[in-house]
């Protein structure tokens, strides 16, 4: 049994922490939302009063927060308050599973290194369904020793655990993956919408494409057309994975493309379409709601 502090219990962090409790770990949770904390307490986690309270004498700290500024705030603090890295025990392993920019990873890693702490960026893929089922894919960046140490805890939440490379490599793998995800979600939406506009049943069209060369994850497991399967599209596009978060991830990918002189025309187009969806006031909807921007040609 490992003593784990878990910070950030949203759509992903909630079920991830629940799986750690189910695996028999001693889990102390903190979130700004009391409701989110109480759901975990019902499953056997302990509610903490602050991130510092959660992390006191913890062997592992895990964070699952929206974006880089939240992660920097938690670990580095600011002019007014200390960060978690100032206070936790030096033998504590720190795993940030949020999807964030590489620059923040480097700043957090530098501070962790100054105190001799092991820190890994460990973003995930698979969505809420995989978080609930404990079948997430983890893409870790950091030292091999930290990665080996992290594996047993991560395996309670995921099935595929990769060491992508040094610090920040997990985030680069994640932004490559999510840029591709956005592109095939938009492409899948376009194909289904055009088929439906032409009089085809989207369920039958989906079945056909699943047995053809258009098969992909969005079509198979996260169909964006309402009524085809039990996916956010069939629940009024309740997230799931919000448009706001996909737009953030595409922004990270485009920034990385500029930095590395990579040509990503489809990634840029995907970012523009998700920004348009966000500006329409749909940031809190699931990202598969991108199909809605195809309503009117
Ligand atoms: P979410 O908005 O549902 O959850 C974030 C949680 O963090 C909320 O409960 C919020 O109250 C809490 N929080 C924010 N600031 C905090 C702070 N300072 N201290 C404590 N708690 C704080 O987001 P999510 O969908 O769970 O995503 C979390 C991360 O995982 C994001 O970086 C996202 O890009 C990534 N991600 C999401 C999915 C998905 O399908 N939702 C999949 C893969 C990766």
What are the tens digits of pLDDT across the range 202-235?
999 999 999 999 999 999 999 999 999 999 999 9
Task: Indicate whether this complex's ipTM tops 0.90.
Answer: yes
Question: Rounded CA gap, 103 and 196, in Å?
Answer: 43
Domain(s) of CATH 3.40.50.720: residues in the chain: 3-166
| CATH number for the domain formed by residue range(s) 3-166 | 3.40.50.720
| Ligand 1 contact via 14 beta carbon (within 6 Å) | no
Which segments of the chain does DSSP mark as H helices, in order?
13-22, 34-43, 51-55, 68-76, 84-87, 102-114, 127-133, 144-154, 169-197, 202-210, 217-221, 243-259, 265-277
Tokens at 231, concatenated: 């996916």
The pLDDT assigned to 297 comes to 63
Mean pLDDT of the region 170-197: 98
Question: Rounded CA gap, 173 and 169, in Å?
Answer: 6
The pLDDT assigned to 295 comes to 85
CATH number 1.10.1040.10 given to 172-294: yes
Backbone angles phi, psi at 55, to 5 degrees: -90, -5
Domain(s) of CATH 1.10.1040.10: residues in the chain: 172-294
| Ligand 1 contact via 65 beta carbon (within 6 Å) | yes
Question: Is 174 a catalytic site residue?
Answer: yes
Distance (angstroms) between ligand 1 centre and the Cα of 99 equals 9
Q: Which helix (H) or strand (E) holds 48?
A: none
**pTM of the shown model:** 0.94
Least confident window among 29-38, 76-85, 219-228:
76-85
The pLDDT assigned to 75 comes to 97
The pLDDT assigned to 296 comes to 67
Least confident window among 50-59, 75-84, 131-140, 231-240:
75-84
Mean pLDDT of the region 284-295: 96
The pLDDT assigned to 287 comes to 98
Q: Which of 6, 9, 12 to mutate to test the pocket of ligand 1 (most atoms within 8 A of CB)?
A: 12
Q: Reply yes or no on whether the pLDDT at 166 is more than 90.
A: yes
């Amino acid at each position: 049994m490992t003593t784990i502090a878990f910070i950030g219990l949203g759509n992903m962090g909630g079920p991830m922490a629940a799986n750690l409790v189910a695996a028999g770990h001693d889990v102390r949770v903190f979130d700004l939302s009391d409701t989110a904390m109480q759901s975990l307490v019902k499953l056997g986690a302990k509610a903490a009063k602050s991130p510092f309270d959660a992390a006191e004498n913890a062997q592992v700290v895990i964070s699952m927060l929206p974006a880089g500024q939240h992660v920097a705030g938690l670990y580095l603090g600011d002019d007014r308050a200390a960060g978690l890295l100032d206070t936790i025990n030096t033998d504590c392993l720190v795993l940030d599973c949020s999807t964030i920019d590489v620059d923040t990873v480097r700043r957090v890693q530098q501070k962790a290194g100054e105190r001799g702490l092991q820190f890994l960026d460990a973003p995930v893929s698979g969505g809420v369904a995989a978080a609930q089922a404990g079948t997430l894919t983890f893409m870790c960046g950091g030292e091999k020793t930290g990665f080996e140490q992290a594996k047993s805890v991560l395996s309670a939440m995921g099935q595929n655990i990769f060491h992508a490379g040094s610090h920040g490599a997990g985030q680069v793998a994640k932004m490559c993956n999510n840029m591709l995800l956005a592109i095939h979600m938009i492409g899948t939406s376009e194909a289904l919408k055009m088929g439906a506009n032409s009089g085809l049943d989207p369920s039958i069209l989906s079945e056909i494409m699943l047995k053809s060369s258009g098969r992909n994850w969005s079509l198979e497991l996260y169909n964006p057309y309402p009524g085809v399967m039990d996916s956010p599209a069939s629940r009024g596009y309740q997230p799931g994975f919000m448009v706001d978060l996909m737009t953030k991830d595409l922004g990270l990918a485009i920034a990385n493309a500029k930095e590395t002189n990579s040509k990503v025309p489809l990634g840029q187009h995907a970012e523009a379409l998700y920004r348009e969806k966000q500006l329409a006031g749909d940031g809190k909807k699931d990202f598969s709601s991108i199909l809605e921007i195809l309503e009117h040609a």
